[in-house]
Structure 1
Amino acid sequence: MPAANLTAQFLDEIKKSDPPKKLMLFFDQEITGFILEWRATGGLSYYFRYPIGNRKMRMLKIAKERDISLSEARGQAYMLRREFLDGNEPTIKRALRNNAPLLKDFICKQYLPSAKVRKRSWRLDETALNYHFVPKFGQRRMDTITRAEMEAQLESLITDGFKPVSVNRYLITIKSVYSAAVRWQVLEAGKNPCTGISPFPTIARRERFLTQVEAKRLLDVLDSSPNWRVALSIKLILLTGARKREILDARWDYINLEARVLTLPNSKSGHPRHIALSDAALSLLDRLPREADVPWLFFNPKSKQPLNNLHPTWVNLRVQAGLPDLRIHDLRHSFASFLVNHGRSLYEVQGLLGHQSPRTTMRYAHLSSSRMVEAANLVGSIVSKDP
């Protein structure tokens, strides 16, 4: 009884081949129990097989291949297997009525387990889905949600005050969910409610750089904060130019004190990244307490897991510093601006920020305009001299 990846291409190849001399069963590699039966007469049918009692199996016929699409048969097999795993007796009547999974079930049982393996940002997907889509559509079958309903939900988020750039990220996330369902043949492509939904127009992100006076004011607030773990993590972001999650997910074994670097094995670019540690950064690390069973630099003392949500504390800190419009990511921009304004090259900034392409670093080129004027004056003084 061969295993097979039951796809449209596989079915086409079967139909073009001569019928077998005796009955053959092809077991799907993705959904346990989902079977394609090929008879000597050439007939093809879908079945779901599951155990009953001791060493006994039952074959439940879903439909003939000519009467149902592969994606529908796969969806019904998924529902039958879910019934079996829930301890219920699988019935084809129920499966036919529910030929696509509930959105919450697909997200929880299929999409997120895959995202945890494939995406470092899976927690963001989990949060977006659980907050903005599961409460609204979670109890609905995936193929019953319409594009109009999905678009209305996204528009309601804009009305509730979410920024267009955030809602566009949520749109990308739910699109990924439905794309996965289609790719895994749990859902037909024509049942994707995200098809044709355009992202919301956004305003170009403003650039915010701290002045030296503002940076000093912020550091004073951080140094006096009672929430010292959060304060020190934010301070280290400013001192290194690292991204927020790079610091919050950093472990003690990533640090080489002799080489004065923090090495991140998996950075945003997908390559190892080396963050230089200044004297001020090393002094900060020396102040951090360590626990034998906790590998993280910054952790929640109760859960022993990395710090997660800095936002509530950060809002209070930036207001105390008189910087209500400052984002945590602006600290990374400020790190770059201090370097450029004090004569360091864009090549050095690129290395310190871990940019793979110099084009990304060019956003800071305008900060060195005074040095460009000096360079231009040099040419002017040369050509103005008498030969």
Structure 2
Amino acid sequence: MASDYLHRATPVMPAIGDLMANGKLTKSMVDGLEPKPSDYVQWCGQLPGFGVRVRPSGSKSFIVQYRIGGRNSPTRKVTVGTYGKLTVEQAREAAKAILAKAELGEDVAGDRAKRRAELNVAQLCDEYLAEGCDRKKDSTIATDKGRIERHIKPLLGRKRVSEVTRGDVEKFMRDVAKGATATDEKTGKFGRAIVTGGKGTATRTVRLLGGIFTYAVDRGYIETNPRLGVKVYADGKGERFLSASEIEKLGETLRLAETDGLPWQFNEGAKSKHRPVNAENQREKLCPHAIAAIRLLLLTGCRAGEILNLMWKDIDFDRGFINLPDSKTGSKPVLIGAPALQILASLERKADNPYVIVGSKPKEPRSDLKRPWKRVTTHAGLPDLRLHDLRHSYASIGAASGMGLTIVGKLLGHASPATTARYSHFADDPLRRASDNIAGQIAAALGGSKAGAEIIPIAGKAGSNG
């Protein structure tokens, strides 16, 4: 009987040495656990199968691990609760109850998974946001929430998780692309949220949906991810790269904006009483901090949020670095050139504001560059240019200069070489150089070489018929 009893439920035990070293889980022990780059579990040395999982974010949750059917059976894990909401002792008592049920043949983890499979998609999304986003940045989570509330819940929210098929996901993608979830809703007293849908939104939302279903698979709620095999639309990022002449136009406009000012742009139908009367007042100088931000974006390749949230304390003028504590890819130092350092050195500092690009409120940065950017691009004749295209242009110039994609990727802070690979067509191509050299030789022989071209003599004696 004893052997059968142990065969039905076996707590998953760490090594004996680990148990002895760990000791009993206590409040002081749990408080002292520091986060690491990946998840880890601190097991209790007194109650086998009971532990606390520590995530990279610093969050801690109690778990129970056991097997049903003997040591060759797959492990089962049950999350007891979050530390802070439960004390160590409360979690220990709950763990004992779960292990007792397991010894009697009751699979608590399996039962939970079956119940969770009956969740609808809206409930799964809520759980994912609460428990499955530990490694995401706050800004990314905010974007996910928007896509969930505006697209996923309206179209799939009531459907049972276990009932969602690949065909449902494909239809969802088509519906979002066609604008089925498009809205124009009022937010607050003056704001509006305009949701248009489209193929780009559909692709990004389906990828998020796939991540949510991956979470469901990992938790055992479903066996397969219905997003698998769904072909999404091309991203259609429409990357724009400035030519040398366009950079000159942009530079001329920025200089005019900070000196004489840009001509007023009157909206059609606007009341004339709001327009300046005197000709000398019909120009507008833009904020020097906004102009500096635009120049820095082009000169550094940084993202707009990285420049807008840059603080003076994060600039190392001596070594030519800016230290970004919270970029898209985490904290990182960014090497910047002398022109960017000169802009930073000449920019006025506000005594009550620690940010480089100050906003209208004390101690806060400027929130965005939408208005000055529109004024600048309209005057420069570049209405289709986006702020992020300045980053693309920085990268394309670096790639075309023969620096190598590895160097360009490091300057941009790309976490993966695949991200930089999009600029490979700008790279200094040996075939291009060979083509230019051959054409140069032929042009020289024809007497039609252009000034400044690299001319390499054709092999063989001059005047030879070959």
Alignment of 1:23-62 (within 5 A): 28-31=78-81, 33=94, 36-38=98-100, 43-45=104-106
Map 1:184-195 to 2 at 5 A.
Answer: 184-185=219-220, 187-190=221-224, 192-195=225-228
Shift of 1:296: 3.7
Q: Distance in 1 between matches of 2:143 and 2:119?
A: 29
**Normalised TM-score (structure 2):** 0.55
- Superposition RMSD in Å: 4.5
Mapping of 1:346-365 within 5 angstroms?
A: 346-347=403-404, 350=408, 352-354=411-413, 357=417, 361-365=423-427
- Compared with structure 1, are the counterparts of its residues 273 and 163 closer, same or farther at alpha carbon in structure 2 (3 Å cutoff)? farther
Using the aligned pairs only, state the percent identity.
22
Q: 2:98 is paired with a residue of what secondary structure?
A: strand
- Summarize the Cα distance change of 1:280–1:273 in structure 2 as closer, same or farther, 3 Å threshold: closer
**Matched residue, 1:176:** 211
Distance in 2 between the 1:218 and 1:15 partners? Answer: 74
Change (3 A) 1:361 1:206: closer
Deviation at 1:237, TM superposition (A): 0.3
> 1:195 offset after TM fit, Å?
3.9
Tell me the distance in 1 between the aligned counterparts of 2:210 and 2:425: 30
Secondary structure of residue in 2 paired with 1:102: helix
Q: What CA distance in whole angstroms lies between the structure 2 residues aligned with 1:45 and 1:238? A: 62
Q: Which amino acid aligns with 2:316?
A: N
Matching residue of 2:113: 71
After TM superposition, the structure 1 = structure 2 runs for residues 232-243 of structure 1, keeping only pairs within 5 Å, are 232-243=292-303
> Helix, strand or coil: the match of 1:264?
strand
Q: Could you say what secondary structure the match of 1:36 adopts?
A: helix
Unaligned runs of 5+ in 2: 1-46, 52-62, 83-93, 180-195, 262-284, 441-453
Cα distance, 1:382 vs. partner?
6.1
Q: 2: distance between equivalents of 1:39 and 1:268?
A: 45
Q: Find out whether 1:244 has 2:304 as its counterpart.
A: yes
The CA deviation string for residues 230-271 of structure 1, in whole angstroms up to 9 with x for no partner, is 443222101222233332343322211122222335666668
The structure that is helix-richer by fraction is: 1
Whole-angstrom distance in 2 between the partners of 1:218 and 1:107:
47
Residue type of the alignment partner of 2:78: D
Aligned counterparts of 2:165 and 2:156: Cα–Cα separation in 1: 11
| Aligned twin of 1:328 | 387
Instruction: Report if the CA contact (8 A) 2:166-2:226 is conserved.
Output: yes
Paired amino acid for 1:155: R
Which deviates more from structure 2 when the two are superposed, residues 361-370 or residues 125-134? 361-370
> Structure 2 matches for 1:289-328, cutoff 5 A?
289-290=349-350, 295-298=354-357, 300-302=359-361, 307=366, 309-311=368-370, 314-328=373-387
Deviation, structure 1 residue 16? 1.6
User: Structure 1 245/373 Cα, relative in aligned 2: closer, same or farther at 3 Å?
Assistant: farther
- The one-letter amino acid of 1:180's match is Y
Q: Is the 8 A contact 2:317 2:341 kept in 1?
A: no
Q: Does 1:381 align with 2:457?
A: yes
> Corresponding residue for 1:158?
177
For 1:278, which of 328, 332, 338 is the aligned residue? 338
Shift of residue 220, structure 1, vs aligned partner: 4.2
Shift in CA distance, 155/271, structure 1 to aligned 2, threshold 3 Å: same
Counterpart of 1:346 in structure 2: which amino acid?
A: M
Question: Residues 138 and 249 from structure 1, CA distance in 2 versus in 1: closer, same or farther, beyond 3 angstroms?
Answer: farther
Superposed CA offset, 1:129-157 (max 9, x none): 34433455557664565555543333233
Deviations 1:192-220 (A, max 9, x none): 54344321245584543232433234424
Relative contact order: is structure 1 or structure 2 higher (C-alpha 8 Å, sep ≥ 6)?
Answer: 1
Q: Secondary structure in 1 aligned to 2:381? A: coil
| Structure 1 residue ranges without an equivalent (≥5) | 19-25, 48-64, 77-96
CA deviation map 1:27-73 (0-9, x unaligned): 93454657534469x532256xxxxxxxxxxxxxxxxx8xx645125
Output one character per residue of 1:315-364: Cα deviation in whole Å (capped at 9) or x when no partner: 454233321211222212333555677xx442497265456758565332
Give the whole-Å Cα distance in 1 for the aligned partners of 2:166 and 2:306: 37
**Change beyond 3 A, Cα 1:206–1:108:** closer
Q: Is the 8 A contact 2:300 2:340 kept in 1?
A: no
Distance 1:134 1:310 in 2: 32
- Give the alignment of 1:76-115 within 5 angstroms: 102-112=123-133, 114-115=134-135
Letter in 2 for 1:177: I
**Alpha-carbon distance in structure 2 between the residues aligned to 1:303 and 1:153:** 45
Higher alpha-carbon Rg:
2
What SS is found at the alignment partner of 1:272?
strand
How many residues of Structure 1 are paired with residues of Structure 2 in the alignment? Answer: 328
Shift of the 129–288 alpha-carbon distance from structure 1 to 2, 3 Å rule, reads: farther
Amino acid paired to 2:175: S
Q: What is the letter of the counterpart of residue 383 of structure 1?
A: A
Return the letter of the residue paired with 2:114. Answer: E
Q: Deviations over 1:153-207 (max 9, x none)?
A: 332332235453443222212211221232134x2235x5434432124558454
Which whole-Å CA distance do the structure 1 matches of 2:173 and 2:433 have between them? 46
Tell whether 2:300 aligns with 1:257: no
- Counterpart-to-counterpart distance in 2, 1:203 and 1:303: 39
**Structure 1: which amino acid aligns with 2:346?**
D
State the 1:115 CA deviation.
3.8
